[in-house]
Amino acid sequence: MENPEKDAFRDRPIRTFGRTGGRALSPRQQQLYETRLDHWRVPDPAGAPLDPRGLFPAAREVWLEIGFGGGEHLVAQAKAHPGNGFIGCEPFVEGVAKAIAGIEDNALANVRLWPDDARLLLAALPDRSIARAFILFPDPWPKRRQQKRRLVQPDFVTELVRVLAPGARLRFATDVSSYADEALLAFLGNGELEWNATRADDWRRPPADHVTTRYESKRLGDCDPIWYDLICT
């Protein structure tokens, strides 16, 4: 006998992130999350293509950050580039609340948030619609049995490349050595991403426009941060 709920659970993509909740939000964070998220949220595409240009009609380009954590990098980049639109993906409730606070404290109008699995957003975006993407210190799932949950897998890269415009830049960073190796293989195995590193400093030092976050500063991984800056052909 068919069971639609069981089938839907079975067919759901494996989660690439852990818990979405954590410690209690501060009173201000709770208030912002409850009253302002709908204002900043990317509309649910409900199966229809999502036009990012419709979110930012006057933007020169649309940039995407997948897994923005507490929103520090997202907010700083949006503030530094007011002529571009920014979409930030993050399922962790506290991170979303912090991002909303950062957006409103800096009076930004060029950011929209997707508080859910980034893969659902990618599936709704049109081809060649994103000019720049950031994946900075994604959940490393360091134990061997967990590594199938890592976000950067060949299928994910294929879908990401589909939405990247020709010449778009993709920045990836991790402080887990096995993830650095695995991600680079997935990126270069796609065939549409070029890594133009010519010396060790190209992956050992952060790019000049990088914004260091509190999570990055904790150095929780097993190596110094490794940086990949790739170009979509």
Q: How confident is the model at residue 219 (pLDDT cuts 50, 70, 90)?
A: confident
The whole domain housing 222 covers 26-42+50-232
Average per-residue pLDDT for the chain? 89
Q: 3-class SS at 190?
A: coil
Q: How confident is the model at residue 7 (pLDDT cuts 50, 70, 90)?
A: very low
4 within a domain of the structure (yes/no): no
**Count of structural domains, the chain:** 1
Sheet containing strand 62-66, strands side by side: 111-114, 85-89, 62-66, 130-136, 164-174, 226-232, 193-195
10 within a domain of the structure (yes/no): no
CATH number at residue 149: 3.40.50.150
20 within a domain of the structure (yes/no): no
Q: What is the pLDDT of residues 125-154, one digit of tens each?
A: 999 999 999 999 999 877 666 678 899 999
203 within a domain of the structure (yes/no): yes
Distance CA 77, CA 214 (A): 16
Report which of 13, 39, 48 is spatially closest to residue 125, judged by C-alpha positions. 48
Burial of 8 (0-12, 13-18, 19+ CB in 10 A): exposed
pLDDT for residue 6: 38
33 within a domain of the structure (yes/no): yes
- Whether residue 49 is predicted with pLDDT greater than 90 in this model: the reply is no
Higher pLDDT, 12 or 223: 223
Catalytic-labelled residue, pool 7, 51, 139, 181: 139
pLDDT for residue 17: 46
2 within a domain of the structure (yes/no): no
Instruction: Read off the pTM.
Output: 0.88
pLDDT for residue 146: 60
136 within a domain of the structure (yes/no): yes
Structure-token match 């010519």, residue found: 198
Residue 72 to residues 67, 190, 203: CA-CA distances in angstroms? 11, 30, 22
pLDDT for residue 3: 47
Reply yes or no on whether 139 is catalytic. Answer: yes
- Whether residue 59 is predicted with pLDDT greater than 80 in this model: the reply is yes
16 within a domain of the structure (yes/no): no
